[in-house]
A and B are shown apart, each in its own frame.
Chain A
Amino acid sequence: DQQVKQNSPSLSVQEGRISILNCDYTNSMFDYFLWYKKYPAEGPTFLISISSIKDKNEDGRFTVFLNKSAKHLSLHIVPSQPGDSAVYFCAASGGGNEKLTFGTGTRLTIIP
């Protein structure tokens, strides 16, 4: 039972344009959501997070949107840069169970 889903295994975006990565979840007890970025041969690196009491959180070029009714969140990167090429994981936590549940990841490629 996959509780956090990233349905797009890969995404290619032109440099300077907006990258939008999507994530859906099924567990209504999740109340905290995170995005991690992973380069090859490295561990995941925390990027940005959002609590369920908010619907938007922004940090520089990165913005996460949360739609609780649709159980959907998205990560926007504007403008996209070549260094953003990586695998992005969505993760969620909550319901008294504080462990992170990860999605399967989306490989983002920024085309120069």
Chain B
Amino acid sequence: EAGVAQSPRYKIIEKRQSVAFWCNPISGHATLYWYQQILGQGPKLLIQFQNNGVVDDSQLPKDRFSAERLKGVDSTLKIQPAKLEDSAVYLCASSLDRLAGAWDTQYFGPGTRLTVL
């Protein structure tokens, strides 16, 4: 079974530029998550999708971050404009069906390491 795919793996940009990350979840997984992991910290949830609807985006800085999950499969996360403090690893995860009542394991992709100069 193929895992969660993310691209690019690394990205270096200057502040005020824009950047986009792509995620392809495990086939059949209805729930998709984007996390931000700053160096020395644990992952922090930015946004959670159930199919193509947003379940939780309470910690997404909506003035500069946006995310979409068209057709309930792939997802993109965009930052525009980027700030120095956005330097982090952006992790995508997926789970089978988070609203099914039982706990569903979240499977993580390898992440995209973003450096903002």
Chain A residues within CB distance 8 Å of chain B: 4, 32, 36, 41-46, 49, 89, 91, 93, 97-105
A43 and B41 contacting across the interface, CB-CB below 8 Å: no
User: Per DSSP, are chain A's interface residues mostly helix, strand or loop, or mixed?
Assistant: strand
Report the number of A-B residue pairs with Cβ-Cβ less than 8 Å.
42
Q: Which of A49, A101, A104 contacts B40 (CB 8 A)?
A: A104
User: Per DSSP, are chain B's interface residues mostly helix, strand or loop, or mixed?
Assistant: loop
The answer, yes or no, to whether B45 is at the interface (CB within 8 Å) is yes
Known contacts A32-B103, A49-B103; is A43 also within 8 Å of B109 by CB?
Answer: yes
The answer, yes or no, to whether B75 is at the interface (CB within 8 Å) is no
The answer, yes or no, to whether B32 is at the interface (CB within 8 Å) is no
- Please give, as numbers and ranges, the residues of chain A lying within 8 Å of B110 by CB-CB distance: 41-43
Indicate the member of A42, A97, A99, A102 with the most B CB atoms within 10 Å: A99
